[in-house]
């Protein structure tokens, strides 16, 4: 099934709902699925904006699950897509803002990455195993 930009935008909003209601493991799954769909549609005009939003909410979700490393990695993906991505310091807790800023610092000093062509390179952070501590926090 070919999805339009409007359908993908609706899917993204629906994928953010589990985060908003505190169903964090479900949010990880839903956001991961939307990220996969968006990355398969580079021709979509708002793809970068929607993908950044999905990764940002994935980072928030991991943070809520005490998955600091996974959250930071997701924030890093946001910043690779949009180095000027704004975080509202009035809306998010200082610990989230600090972690986002740490990710920004790391992305700024990281060497350029070659064009990603295989699915494992694009989605590796979603497939990587959580640390035992992160996994325990999901239960």
Cα 93 from Cα 71, distance rounded (Å): 14
Express each pLDDT in 30-53 by its tens digit.
999 999 999 988 888 888 999 999
Residue 39 is part of which domain span?
5-110+118-137
- Which of 22 and 41 is assigned the larger pLDDT? 22
Total domain count, the chain:
1
Q: Which pLDDT value is given to residue 120?
A: 44
pTM as predicted:
0.78
Cα 23 from Cα 2, distance rounded (Å): 28
CATH number of 57's domain = 1.25.40
125, pLDDT greater than 50: no
Q: Which pLDDT value is given to residue 108?
A: 83
Express each pLDDT in 68-124 by its tens digit.
999 999 999 999 999 999 999 999 999 999 999 999 999 887 665 554 444 444 444
Q: Closest Cα to residue 27, out of 13, 41, 42?
A: 13
């Amino acid at each position: 099934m070919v999805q339009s930009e409007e359908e993908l935008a609706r899917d993204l909003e629906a994928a953010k709902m589990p985060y908003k209601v505190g169903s964090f493991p479900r949010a990880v799954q839903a956001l991961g699925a939307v990220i996969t769909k968006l990355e398969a549609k580079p021709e979509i005009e708002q793809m970068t904006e929607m993908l950044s939003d999905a990764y940002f909410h994935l980072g928030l979700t991991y943070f809520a699950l005490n998955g600091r490393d996974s959250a930071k990695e997701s924030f890093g993906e946001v910043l690779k897509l949009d180095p000027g991505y704004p975080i509202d310091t009035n809306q998010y807790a200082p610990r989230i803002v600090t972690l986002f800023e740490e990710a920004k610092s790391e992305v700024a000093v990281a060497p350029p990455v070659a064009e990603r062509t295989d699915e494992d390179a694009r989605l590796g952070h979603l497939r990587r195993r959580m640390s035992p501590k992160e996994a325990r926090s999901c239960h």
